[in-house]
Amino acid sequence: MLTVFLYQLFGPADPRIALALFPLAALGGLIQGLGQAKVDIGLVRAALVPFALFLVVLGHLIGRSTFAPRELGVLVAAAGIVWPIAVTPESRACSSRRPCSSAWSPRAF
Q: Could you read off the pLDDT of 44-97 as tens digits, one per residue?
A: 888 888 999 999 999 999 999 988 899 999 999 999 999 878 776 655 555 555
pTM, entire model: 0.73
The reported pLDDT for the residue numbered 1 is: 81
Average pLDDT, the chain: 82
* Cα–Cα separations (whole angstroms), residue 73 to 1, 21, 85, 88: 21, 15, 19, 24
- Angle at which helix 48-64 crosses helix 21-37, to 10 degrees, equals 150
Tell whether the model's pLDDT for residue 109 goes beyond 50.
no
pLDDT over 70, % of the chain: 80
